[in-house]
Structure 1
């Protein structure tokens, strides 16, 4: 008896909920997941000429490249001018040790 009243109440609630909001109705859906492989139709297609865009990009990259080369040359020149780096292009210009510190070796022959 109690069970039949609960089922009856359930039917009333589900009918009212179907009428007011169809999303609340419990529906079991078994979806089959379809796997779609990628194909060429999904690639973006350029519209318009590509050369102006390409030239603008190359112009920007060339400016960055020239700026980098100029910065390298400036920093390299500053390292050489401030003697922060010695590149051994020639023998050092420093004098040798004083003659009283050098011992002459005589060949024993």
Structure 2
């Protein structure tokens, strides 16, 4: 009983760590990155990349559906079955 009390109190106590390395300087506008280059060229390059990823995803999904349907693993129930069996 007496041994578990310090152990439990140590488990439930909150430890606060403060890492202050002296005086902290507030941030200024001089520390922000300076833009360079054409934003339109960067935008067009990123859009080409995103569109290619989208096209690959759509093609892969369509291919997966076609393979699953042709293998007989999936029946989409888009029409009534031909027989009741």
Q: Pick the TM interval, shorter chain.
A: 0.5 to 0.7
The equivalent residue for 2:8 is none
Q: Distance in 2 between matches of 1:95 and 1:77?
A: 25
The equivalent residue for 2:49 is 60
Decide which structure has the larger Cα Rg and report it: 1
TM-score, normalised to structure 2's length? 0.64
Q: Which runs of 5+ in 2 are unaligned?
A: 1-20
TM-score, normalised to structure 1's length? 0.52
Question: Which deviations, in whole Å up to 9, do the C-alpha atoms of 1:28-62 show, x marking residues without a partner?
Answer: xxxx8211122332111111221112211111111
| 1:38-49 to 2 correspondences below 5 Å | 38-49=27-38
- Give the root-mean-square deviation of aligned CA atoms: 1.8
The Cα of 1:63 is off from its aligned counterpart by: 0.7
Q: Which runs of 5+ in 1 are unaligned?
A: 1-31, 97-109
